[in-house]
Homo-oligomer: A and B are copies of this chain.
Amino acid sequence: MRKFAEDRDWGRFHDPKSVLLALVGEVGELAELFQWLPAAEARDLAAAPPLRTRVGEEMADVLLYLVLLADVVGIDLGAAAQAKMDDSERRFPPGS
């Protein structure tokens, strides 16, 4: 993502609040794919064509902007997620 942005001289647009709004935009597109699906059928409908491809694309967009935001603010997203999982394991022991 960083190289992709640098190669296009897009880095100057990538302040955190802008990237975060872009992330919100992609979350919105993901929400639009699910909004009117009946709750009980949403999983199967999203897992099968034709919706599956679009869901994958929008989820990818969310991930890519999240990774870009992590790069902009210098946060190791993988380490942060692992720390969060460890913390949740402690706070919510199995069976809780």
Contact = CB atoms under 8 A, between A and B. Distances in A.
A15 B42 contact: yes
A26 to B, nearest CB: 7
Integer count of this chain's copies in the complex = 4
Contacts of A59: 66, 69-70, 75, 77, 80
A73 B77 CA distance: 23
Contact of A36 (B18, B37, B88, B94): B18
Nearest to A74: B47
A31 B21 contact: yes
B27 A39 contact: no
Interface string A13-54: 101111111111111111110111101101100110000100
Contacts of A16: 34, 37, 42-43, 46
A39 to B, nearest CB: 3
